[in-house]
Amino acid sequence: MTAKNDFQSSDPIAWCPGCGNFGILNAVKKALAELKIKPENVLMVSGIGQSSKLPHYIKCNTFNGLHGRLLPVATGAKIANHDLVVIGEGGDGDGYSEGGNHFIHAMRRNIDITYIVHNNQIYGLTKGQASPTTDKDMVTGTTPEGAYVSPERPLAIAVASNCSFIARGFSLELDHLADLIKKAVSHHGFSLLEVLQPCVSFNKINTFQWYQERVYKLEEKDHDVSDRTQAFHKALEWGDQIPLGIIYQRESKTYEDRKELTDSVPLVSRKGKKDKIKSTLKEFY
Amino acid sequence: MTQKRDISIKIGGEAGQGMKVISTLLGKTFSRRGFWVFTYQDVMSRIRGGHNFSQIRICSQQVSNISSQLDMVVCLDKKTLDLHKDETQGPVLYDKDFIKKNPPPGDKYIPIPFQKIAKDTGGDERMANSVASGAVLTLLGMSMDPLYELLEEIFKQKGKKVIQGNKKSARAGAEEVKKVGQKRHFFKLKPENKKKRMLLTGSEAMALGALASNVRFYSAYPMSPATAIMEYLASQQESYDLIVEQAEDEIAAVNMAIGTFFSGARAMVGTSGGGMALMVEGISLAGMTETPLVIVDAQRPGPATGFPTRTEQADLFFAAFSGHGEFPRCILAPSTAEEAFYLTSKALYLAEKYQSPVFILGDQYLNDSSWTVEEFDLDKIYPDEQGFLSKKKLKELKPYQYLRYETNSSGITPRIRPGTPRQVLYADSDEHTEEGHITESAEIRNQMVNKRLSKARGMNNELAKPVIYPQQMADIYIISWGSTLGIVDEAVKSLKNEKAKIGYIHFSEIYPLRHDVIPQDIAQNAKLIGVENNASGQFLRLLQLETGIQVKNKVLKYDGRPFKPQELADQIKQESGGSS
């Protein structure tokens, strides 16, 4: 049996009191415990930002890499060992700005990784600059006259990229979020789970209350998760109404289905075929 | 008929005309019969048109470099005739249908309608390559059987018709040259023995070295001249428990390889200077997280896009100093394809053992040229599975007590793989505690910086000393590194009758550079002349930085082309008369 406690890390938490990240941390622990995954079988890869500190606060394998680069690290790690449950943890700046190219191509690869993006619409770690998801006209440290660039709609990019699992959670809805994490981890292929997460220090507009007044659950509405056109509409919905839940899901071949990886033994545990080199070298005579 | 032991042939034409096919056909024919072959590719960065050539050297004794003299030119287009006809006194084969008016005067010219013969006998103009190969082989006094054998192997997939067409074309080329050639056009070549040897490119050698060393993952973004490594490895994926991933960019490529190494499997990335520029933050990441990393930089002239298909040795500083912050690294620069095989294995070994980035510096000349190589000694492949915690030690460890960055005198903390029962590991790009968590402690910062840097001590003792020729003290020593070895060797040996005795000190395992890497008596008593394929003498400057030895005399070449032995010998002669 695995319990939430089994994921208790010894590292003291460095987030601001009341940070939206706490809800995500609790939901991740709850989901992993309920999925009965052992800490040593989880690999969390993160980038840079307050969100990317999360793996330190969970007892599990962790690679806390560079800003925007968590997806390629996670991809390499998963290719080497497909037995690992690989979860990426990053923020809106990390994943949608610096890591934008990797985001698009990870969805194309459809490798079995769960990518949790903590979206607080602001840069927290660097103390309050505009992010790719900052709403228009919002005043931040780098946009004193208000943000003049339109915000990115990452979930719509994901639908366009035919990402095989797209969902959104809210850090205050712990049970709902934990359930989405379980579904994302269980999904066969690349899962994008964006989590709305208020920054209590640097985003005074998109507060807990702001989100609470707007979010609604797709599962309570008539939403067909297999309908890509519907999904596109829902992915673009923002403002007065913000949908939570699974936006799109499809079953398809994953990166791990390529024939070199279908062996149940992960690459890292295979004995290797270097002895074949003798016969390969014959081709060069 | 001229008796020869060393012959060089230039085959020129437009991109897409298949000069490479002819040089491969000829190269393999000769390397299978005991000759040493070296083929250099001079290509423009374009798919069709332009002017490209292959230069193939066939020698009865060991040779591993491009030659200065030219004994034959094969012109598949008019431009080759115009540009290269005066480079040889020997026969010049050309397609007479290209030059209907005013054929070149002189009895060295042999008109052969390559395309017409191909069309008439083989049924396809593209078989002009086989016509030319048949003609050249006949001029070299060889029988056609080995060529037929090769054509059958190469075109096996394409079916009988293509094989027959090519064989017929080759035979027709041979007949034609017998008809129109004169006695002085023909050579006689004899190998020293009949031993078969391999013919492989530097890129293939690196890929094979990786396969022989259990590389499980190769990620790259296509970039000349490194792409051939990726393409060869991609063709071997099924046979070798290997995944080759074409990444979205070099940033992704390097981070994927770091992820694979973190998982505990071996990985490698390959690129040229421009791609390595994108990898730099990943190099620093490997340094900080102490994740092994092997980067091949097949150098080409820069800055920026530079000469995409040409050669240079100008990324040495880049490799030595790339990455923000301070962390140790190794740099290896193979001097031949044979060495590229073993040093790729060594790079993986060093990266894993020292949990640090290791660079393999190739260049277009090394990577694209075909080299004759003796059978590899597979016992010289370095062991894999380096730097992991032993099973015994792992058993002794209490549950979840593993410390990824536990400090000790060697600086190396044995690794575990994620997935190890009842243990987890934390790796971090932030400064971190022994456990791997983020810290701001001044004391721990000092401890961790010292831990990382102390790994250089171990690396220092791993690298082989430079090759010093001759054993006895010479008056002048050439200082060179990487792919120039064969050329330097030939140039220096051609100067054996000079008054001053000239030798060389050649480096292929470059960095960290030990302070005593140049023997004291040489440093104090001999005159040193640097030879490098770059404009500023980067190795010499690195040498001065690390050893204090200042080399004032330099022969530098940075036009994107490799040195030729004669040209180099002349320049060395000039430099050796100058101030010391």
pLDDT, tens digit (0-9, with 9 covering 90-100), for A74-119: 999 999 999 999 999 999 999 999 999 999 999 999 999 999 999 9
Size of interface A-B (CB pairs under 8 A): 200
For residue B86, tell me if it sits in a domain. Answer: yes
Q: Which residue has the tokens 């069709």?
A: B48
Distance in angstroms (rounded) separating the CA atoms of residues A24 and A37: 18
Q: For residue B193, what pLDDT is reported?
A: 84
- CB-based contact (8 Å) between B237 and chain A? yes
Question: In this structure, are residues B417 and A40 in contact, taking their beta carbons and an 8 Å threshold?
Answer: no
Q: Over 60: is that where the pLDDT of B580 sits?
A: no
Distance in angstroms (rounded) separating the CA atoms of residues A22 and A43: 19
Residues 6+ apart with CB under 8 A from B152: B163, B167
Domain range annotation of chain A = 4-282
Do B443 and B295 sit in the same domain of this protein? no
Question: In this structure, are residues B328 and B512 in contact, taking their beta carbons and an 8 Å threshold?
Answer: yes
Q: Which of residues 383-422 of B touch A (CB under 8 A)?
A: 384, 400, 417-422
Tokens of B224: 């000349």
Report, as an integer, the average pLDDT of B31-51.
90
Q: For residue A86, what pLDDT is reported?
A: 98
Instruction: From B296, B313, B300, B299, select the one nearest B530 (Cα to Cα).
Output: B313
Q: Over 90: is that where the pLDDT of B1 sits?
A: no
Q: Over 70: is that where the pLDDT of B208 sits?
A: yes
Tokens of A277: 């080199």
The B426-428 sheet, strands edge to edge: A215-217, A242-249, A165-170, A191-196, A114-119, A85-91, A42-46, A61-64, B426-428
Q: Which of residues 137-176 of B touch A (CB under 8 A)?
A: none
Question: Which of B424, B428, B431, B439 is most worth mutating to test chain A (most A CB atoms within 10 A of its CB)?
Answer: B424
pLDDT (tens, 9 = 90+) of chain A, 285 residues, equals 678 889 999 999 999 999 999 999 999 999 999 999 999 999 999 999 999 999 999 999 999 999 999 999 999 999 999 999 999 999 999 999 999 999 999 999 999 999 999 999 999 999 999 999 999 999 999 999 999 999 999 999 999 999 999 999 999 999 999 999 999 999 999 999 999 999 999 999 999 999 999 999 999 999 999 999 999 999 999 999 999 999 999 999 999 999 889 888 999 999 888 889 999 999 999
Q: For residue B100, what pLDDT is reported?
A: 75
Distance in angstroms (rounded) separating the CA atoms of residues B168 and B120: 10
Question: In this structure, are residues B399 and B231 in contact, taking their beta carbons and an 8 Å threshold?
Answer: no
Do B115 and B218 sit in the same domain of this protein? no
Q: Which helix (H) or strand (E) holds A21?
A: helix A21-34
Distance in angstroms (rounded) separating the CA atoms of residues A211 and B241: 48
Instruction: From B87, B44, B37, select the one nearest B63 (Cα to Cα).
Output: B37
Do B159 and B56 sit in the same domain of this protein? yes
Do B456 and B472 sit in the same domain of this protein? no
Q: Over 90: is that where the pLDDT of B471 sits?
A: no
Confidence category of residue B561, pLDDT binned at 50, 70, 90: very high
Do B340 and B369 sit in the same domain of this protein? yes
Q: Over 90: is that where the pLDDT of B47 sits?
A: no
Confidence category of residue B398, pLDDT binned at 50, 70, 90: very high
Q: Over 60: is that where the pLDDT of B578 sits?
A: no
Do B231 and B338 sit in the same domain of this protein? yes
A64 CB neighbour count, 10 Å cutoff: 27
Among the partner residues B32, B252, B282, nearest to A285 by beta-carbon distance? B32
Do B417 and B352 sit in the same domain of this protein? no
Distance in angstroms (rounded) separating the CA atoms of residues B457 and B348: 18
Do B179 and B220 sit in the same domain of this protein? no
- Cα of first residue to Cα of last residue in chain A, in angstroms, is 58
Q: Over 50: is that where the pLDDT of B511 sits?
A: yes
Q: Over 80: is that where the pLDDT of B379 sits?
A: yes
All residues of chain B having their beta carbon less than 8 Å from the beta carbon of residue A72 are: 247, 251-256, 259
CA distances from B63 to B60, B143, B579 (A): 9, 23, 33
For residue B218, tell me if it sits in a domain. Answer: yes
Distance in angstroms (rounded) separating the CA atoms of residues B80 and B55: 12
Shortest distance between the Cα of B212 and any Cα of chain A, in A, equals 5
Q: For residue A1, what pLDDT is reported?
A: 62
Distance in angstroms (rounded) separating the CA atoms of residues B93 and B189: 19
Question: In this structure, are residues B532 and B481 in contact, taking their beta carbons and an 8 Å threshold?
Answer: yes
Report, as an integer, the average pLDDT of B148-172.
94
CA distances from A233 to A195, A238, B364 (A): 19, 10, 51
Tokens of B147: 């060529």
Q: Which of residues 195-234 of B touch A (CB under 8 A)?
A: 196-200, 204, 208, 211-214, 216-217, 219
Do B10 and B140 sit in the same domain of this protein? yes
Residues 6+ apart with CB under 8 A from A204: none
For residue B206, tell me if it sits in a domain. Answer: yes
As a whole-number percent, the residues of chain B with pLDDT over 90 amount to 91
Query: Domain with B344 in it: what CATH number?
Result: 3.40.50.970
For residue B386, tell me if it sits in a domain. Answer: no
Q: For residue B45, what pLDDT is reported?
A: 82
Listed residues B329, B352, B380: the one ending a domain: B380
All residues of chain A having their beta carbon less than 8 Å from the beta carbon of residue B32 are: 285
- For chain A, helix (H) and strand (E) counts, in that order, are 9, 10
Query: Domain with B19 in it: what CATH number?
Result: 3.40.920.10
Q: For residue A257, what pLDDT is reported?
A: 94
CATH number of the domain at A4-282, please?
3.40.50.970
pLDDT tens digits along B95-147: 988 887 888 888 999 999 999 999 999 999 999 999 999 999 999 999 999 99
Question: In this structure, are residues B286 and B292 in contact, taking their beta carbons and an 8 Å threshold?
Answer: yes
Question: Which of B233, B426, B433, B439 is most worth mutating to test chain A (most A CB atoms within 10 A of its CB)?
Answer: B426
Distance in angstroms (rounded) separating the CA atoms of residues B456 and B278: 25
Q: Over 90: is that where the pLDDT of B296 sits?
A: yes
For residue B385, tell me if it sits in a domain. Answer: no
What burial class does residue A116 get, using C-beta atoms within 10 Å of its C-beta: 0-12 exposed, 13-18 middle, 19+ buried?
Answer: buried
Do B241 and B365 sit in the same domain of this protein? yes
For residue B436, tell me if it sits in a domain. Answer: yes
Query: Domain with B475 in it: what CATH number?
Result: 3.40.50.920
> B175: domain range?
2-196
Q: For residue B483, what pLDDT is reported?
A: 98
Query: Which residue of chain A has the CA closest to B200?
Result: A284
| Tally of structural domains, chain B | 4
What value does the mean pLDDT of chain B take? Answer: 95
Q: Which amino acid is at B139?
A: L
Among the partner residues B212, B255, B260, nearest to A69 by beta-carbon distance? B255
Confidence category of residue B579, pLDDT binned at 50, 70, 90: very low
All residues of chain B having their beta carbon less than 8 Å from the beta carbon of residue A45 are: 259
Say which residue, B66 or B1, is predicted with more confidence: B66
As a whole-number percent, the residues of chain B with pLDDT over 70 amount to 99
Question: In this structure, are residues B487 and B568 in contact, taking their beta carbons and an 8 Å threshold?
Answer: yes
Q: For residue B190, what pLDDT is reported?
A: 86
Do B432 and B499 sit in the same domain of this protein? no
| b/e code A225-259 from CB counts within 10 Å (16+ = b) | beeeebbbebbebeeeebbbbbbbbbeeebbbeee
Question: In this structure, are residues A97 and A126 in contact, taking their beta carbons and an 8 Å threshold?
Answer: no
Listed residues B173, B196, B219: the one ending a domain: B196
Q: For residue B428, what pLDDT is reported?
A: 98
Listed residues B417, B436, B460: the one ending a domain: B460
Do B245 and B188 sit in the same domain of this protein? no
Tokens of B269: 């990335």
